[in-house]
Amino acid sequence: EVQLLESGGGLVQPGGSLTLSCAASGFTFSTFAMRWVRQAPGKGLEWVSGISDSGRNTNYADSVKGRFSISRDNSKNTLYLQMTGLRAEDTAMYYCAKRGGRGYHDFWGQGTLVTVSS
């Protein structure tokens, strides 16, 4: 059974930093691209970042480019999202998601909540 378990969310002040983790199990982690998708309170889904299976290729939404960094440790079956320069508009539930097929998300974690507020 595929499981994705996010952690690391919390309350942080504007301008602060936070690192999210996503522990994966139930599939061969090193052979699948992974993504982060966020959802602001009461709003829709927004893709944030993606990383290839090897970790060599990464992509970012314009809204987080230069502030967020995605990485993975295939030996630990873990995906990360380093977030710096956090803003109020980064407040959201952050989901990690496994990429399926040609680019959809076939499994999602339960999410970790990031709140940026003073």
Which C-beta is closer to other proteins: that of 42 or that of 118? 42
Q: CA nearest 110: which of 12, 19, 23, 18?
A: 23
Sites of contact with other proteins (CB under 8 A): 35, 44-47, 50, 59, 61-62, 95, 100-111
We find the least distance from the C-beta atom of residue 32 to other proteins, in angstroms, to be 14
Q: How far is the CB of 118 from other proteins (least distance, A)?
A: 27
Tell me the pairing of strands 10-12 and 112-116. Answer: parallel
Residue closer to other proteins, measured from CB, 32 or 107: 107
Could you tell me the smallest distance in angstroms from the CB atom of residue 110 to other proteins? 5
Q: In this complex, which beta carbon is closest to other proteins, that of residue 67 or of residue 105?
A: 105
Q: By C-beta, is 104 or 118 nearer to other proteins?
A: 104
Cα dist. 53→15, 45, 91, 98 in Å?
31, 23, 28, 10
- Which one, of 80, 109, 113, 107, lies nearest residue 95 by Cα? 109
CB 55, min distance to other proteins, A: 18
Nearest Cα to 37, choosing from 87, 109, 86? 109
